[in-house]
Structure 1
Amino acid sequence: MNDGNTPQSYGIVEHKHRYSAWAASRAASTKTCRFDVCTGKRIIETIGLPALLADPELLPNERDIDAVHRQWCANAIKSATEHGLCGFGHGVAAKLINVYLKGAFVCGGYEDHENVRMLHPPIDSLLLDELYTRNVGGLRTTWATARKLRWSKLDAEQYQAVIRGIRLAMDGKPLWQVEAHWRGYQ
């Protein structure tokens, strides 16, 4: 039923998109790369992520996720540059993408889907600090290096080293479970 104030085309997919874009934009904006939610949402739309929201089967599989993610990041950086953003590198792009997909799929009830299990989790200083402190996976050197570099400044290779470390530490578990070590909820 339309009350006259709600667009008739507004459904759960659009609702997930708006919420996930808001959360991703707020999480990925840093003091060295500030952007508003509208800009983050436009970047997400430019790289085509909303088209995936209808079904986790549309997500890349385990074999392809890293290459597709790298391309999403490259496209996000290009879009951010076109929007006049400075400091929007691979780390910021990855956080924008990862929080968006986390909100839409991991927290959207698809956490056990094979494609969702391999989605990259959001990387930030709180997670890296805890991984380092707890020596998660026995990979203290990996976490120390990433902490020193700062998540928002990671380039594609440095970011991928963190993801490889998370895969090793999770030992076959869904990658989102590494966030058991994230203390940002506190």
Structure 2
Amino acid sequence: MIEASDLDEVIGPEHIGQDVDAWQMSFMKKIEAEAARLNIADFSFGRAQKLVNIYLKTVLVCGGHHQDPRVALLHPPLDFELFKGLRRFLSKNRATLREARLAFIAAQRSNPRWTTFSEADYLAHIKAIKLLMAGKPLYQVEEHWDL
């Protein structure tokens, strides 16, 4: 599916599209469509985001390009452990991070399970993460993983 989406052609930050969000989402949509074409059961948009975001994290963030401003805008892989950590962190910091906390609560109420995310569910969680990170690299949200 990575090859079918052309994600495998991304090997450096110079391949990141000008509109990073739309560029990243285009891979997710291609992978979701390929899974449907292959009749893969229960392959949600949430599973597509995980595949795309882990690939991009591995190649670009862990691949030594983490200081590139385009890489800083990449969405992190979303999963249960991150959500668990975010719930705890946002609850502790409810006074100072009110907007991010409310956005995260709304996203979780809509759908807390990344494995069943629709595109709208995914975007609601990314919105909350962007509010929380306030201009910092989005991949740094993983400091809140609860492992």
Larger radius of gyration: 1
For the superposition of Structure 1 and Structure 2, which TM-score range results when normalised by the shorter chain?
A: 0.7 to 0.9
* TM-score, length-scaled by structure 2: 0.86
Identity level (%): 35
Q: Normalized against structure 1, the TM-score is what? A: 0.69
Structure 2 residue 56 is matched with structure 1 residue 127: no
Residue 140 of structure 1 deviates from its aligned partner by 3.0
| 1:142 to 2:103 alignment | yes
Distance, in Å, in 1 between the alignment partners of 2:135 and 2:102 is 21
Q: SS where residue 33 of structure 2 aligns?
A: helix
How many matched pairs?
Answer: 139
The one of 25, 31, 36 equivalent to 1:81 is: 36
What letter corresponds to residue 95 of structure 1 in structure 2? K
Output the amino acid matched with 1:143. Answer: F
Query: Residue 69 of structure 1: SS of its match in structure 2?
Result: helix
- Pairwise CA distance, 1:57: 0.9
Structure 1's consecutive aligned runs of 4 or more residues displaced over 6 angstroms after TM superposition are none
Unaligned regions of 5+ residues in structure 2, if any? Answer: none
Residue 141 of structure 1, CA deviation: 3.4
Q: Which moved more, 1:155-164 or 1:173-182?
A: 155-164
**Separation (CA, whole Å) in 1 of partners of 2:48 and 2:38:** 14
CA RMSD of aligned residues (A): 1.6
| Partner residue of 2:131 out of 168, 173, 178 | 168
- Does the CA contact (< 8 Å) of 1:92 and 1:153 recur in 2? yes
Unaligned runs of 5+ in 1: 1-42
- Contact 1:170-1:178 at 8 Å conserved across structures: yes
What secondary structure sits across from 2:70 in the alignment? helix
